[in-house]
Chains A and B, each alone.
Chain A
Amino acid sequence: MSLHVVPLRVYIIVFLSLMLGTALTVAAAFVDLGWMNNLVAMAIAATKATIVILFFMHVRYSSRLISLVVVGSFFWLALLIVLSLSDYITRGFLGVPGR
């Protein structure tokens, strides 16, 4: 990929949207949304992280090979979490014979 110098304006907009996301996540934490509180907090965090990766870390302007490594890394993390939880959460579903 040829060098792409990101315009200053883009960096400023990214910075401001990250600040807005921070304000939103703090505000949302003080509102009782039931189980939705976790979802909202994680959705905002994931959005902020995606913005940082795409613009500050230049993945939007990088080759597909780099995008693949980025997506693959997070997929690996998802495997760790999903498979571990699928074990722990289902342990109580069936009784253990002889116990």
Chain B
Amino acid sequence: MSADTHHENAAPLAHHFESYEQQRESASLGMWLFLGQEIMFFGGLFMVYILYRWMYPHAFAEASNMLNVQLGTFNTAVLIGSSLTMALAVRASQTGQSRKIVLFLILTMILGTTFLGVKAFEYHHKWEEHLIPGSSFAFEGKDPAHSQMFFFLYFAMTGLHALHMIVGLGLLAWLCFPAWKGRFSAENHNYVEGVGLYWHFVDIVWIFLFPLLYLIGRKGA
């Protein structure tokens, strides 16, 4: 395919790449290296969680029962749905369907915002129940000190996750303009692919957070 006559306003092949194929793979590889360090970034928090849960399983189970499983499940479904719409946005960019890219980007943003809205509602509820770690923390349990550690991890992990979602929403909004202008094509849709990889990674983090935070100590409940 003669690359230069195709897609007049598409992003060009950078001079240091031999082909669009090589440019695409380099972009994905770079994004994966970034995600590799993101895995370690979240990994530290997961490690702390594993350790404290191993040390204080009952305090963690008791604290986890204060979370709302229905809302957690709903949010998991919303986030998986947003991963589907994101994958479809990337697919539309591969086939150069500008309008469809924008449509799926907007759907992804709506689902992402829904997730954050539910999360804000949950945070507010925890605030009213005095479950925010600190001087006003009040928990009627057998081991409140270590249940507080659970809530510290709950807010740190879901908070960092939510921060990633907010960054993701910004990236999605930023993509809408070039998508609408028809800048993405089969040869060059690396921005959409890269943001897609990021969005799916954030989904994967939640896939692990949901059972670890919401679903422990539920048996027999």
Q: Which residues of A contact B (CB under 8 A)?
A: 1-3, 5-6, 8, 11-12, 14-15, 18-19, 22, 25-26, 29-33, 37-38, 41-42, 44-45, 48-49, 52-53, 55-58, 62-63, 65-66, 69-70, 72-74, 76-77, 80-81, 84-85, 88-89
Task: Please tell me if the beta carbons of B54 and A88 are within 8 angstroms of each other in the complex.
Answer: yes
Q: Is the interface of A mostly helix, strand, loop or mixed?
A: helix
Q: Give the A-B contact count at a CB cut-off of 8 A.
A: 135
**Cross-chain contact of B83 among A38, A56, A88 (Cβ < 8 A):** A56
A7: nearest residue on chain B (CB-CB)?
A: B91
Q: List 19 A-B contacts (CB under 8 A).
A: A3-B24, A6-B91, A14-B84, A15-B80, A22-B73, A22-B210, A29-B69, A30-B218, A30-B219, A31-B219, A37-B216, A41-B212, A52-B207, A56-B87, A57-B200, A66-B32, A69-B32, A74-B39, A85-B50
B95: nearest residue on chain A (CB-CB)?
A: A5
Q: A80-B43, A84-B51 are in contact. Are A69 and B204 (CB under 8 A)?
A: no
Chain B residue numbers with a CB within 8 Å of A33 are 219
Chain B residue numbers with a CB within 8 Å of A65 are 25, 29
**Cross-chain contact of B94 among A5, A12, A49, A70 (Cβ < 8 A):** A5
Chain A residue numbers with a CB within 8 Å of B171 are none
Per CB-CB distance, the 8 closest pairs between chain A and chain B, nearest first, are A73-B36, A29-B215, A32-B219, A41-B211, A15-B84, A29-B218, A77-B43, A56-B87
A15: nearest residue on chain B (CB-CB)?
A: B84
- Say yes or no: is B46 at the interface (Cβ < 8 Å to chain A): yes
**Cross-chain contact of A73 among B39, B69, B212, B220 (Cβ < 8 A):** B39
Q: A5-B95, A52-B207 are in contact. Are A76 and B40 (CB under 8 A)?
A: yes
Task: Please tell me if the beta carbons of A66 and B29 are within 8 angstroms of each other in the complex.
Answer: yes
Most buried by A among B43, B69, B201, B207: B207
Chain A residue numbers with a CB within 8 Å of B43 are 77, 80-81
Task: Please tell me if the beta carbons of B219 and A80 are within 8 angstroms of each other in the complex.
Answer: no
Chain A residue numbers with a CB within 8 Å of B62 are none
A6: nearest residue on chain B (CB-CB)?
A: B91
What is the bound-complex CA distance between A19 and B83, given in angstroms? 12
**Cross-chain contact of A37 among B21, B29, B36, B219 (Cβ < 8 A):** B219
Task: Please tell me if the beta carbons of B211 and A52 are within 8 angstroms of each other in the complex.
Answer: no
